[in-house]
Structure 1
């Protein structure tokens, strides 16, 4: 099974996932990255922190970025009717 790394970028700093996870496909890894992004976004909302440009950078074992998942992309905000 391929190994994927869920690196986190915030304020221009990349925190690398040192272990990664074995998953069956890119699609499964993207789903996991989105779940992780939702969890981090929800923690930020609960603590009153803004969500800015933070994102997960999903890479394969070769270090090539497969997908970038901005935290903002996993938060659904519905405007109230005025």
Structure 2
């Protein structure tokens, strides 16, 4: 299974995911990123409006950015 890293960018700070997560594909990585974002929205007080999760592939290259705002939108 491919390895994906979910890095958290909040303003000028980057919290790097050092371990990554094995997931079947990019769609599963997006679902996981939204889940993490939902959890953090309730726990972290200083998340900026521009906070995102950067999904990186196994080589470390960012392949997609998921805004925290996507996690809190009504679907």
Alignment TM-score > 0.5, same fold: yes
| Cα deviation 1:21-64 (Å, max 9, x = unaligned) | 111111111110010011111224xx5x5642111101101122
Q: Tell me the distance in 2 between the aligned counterparts of 1:67 and 1:35.
A: 15
**Structure 1 stretches of 4+ moved >2 Å:** none
TM-score, length basis structure 2: 0.84
Q: Residues of 1 paired with 2:47 and 2:56: CA distance? A: 26
Instruction: Tell me the residue number matched to 1:11.
Output: 11
5+ residue gaps, structure 2, are none
Distance 2:36 2:23 in 1: 15
- Number of aligned positions between the proteins: 74
CA RMSD of aligned residues (A): 1.8
Q: TM-score, normalised by structure 1?
A: 0.78
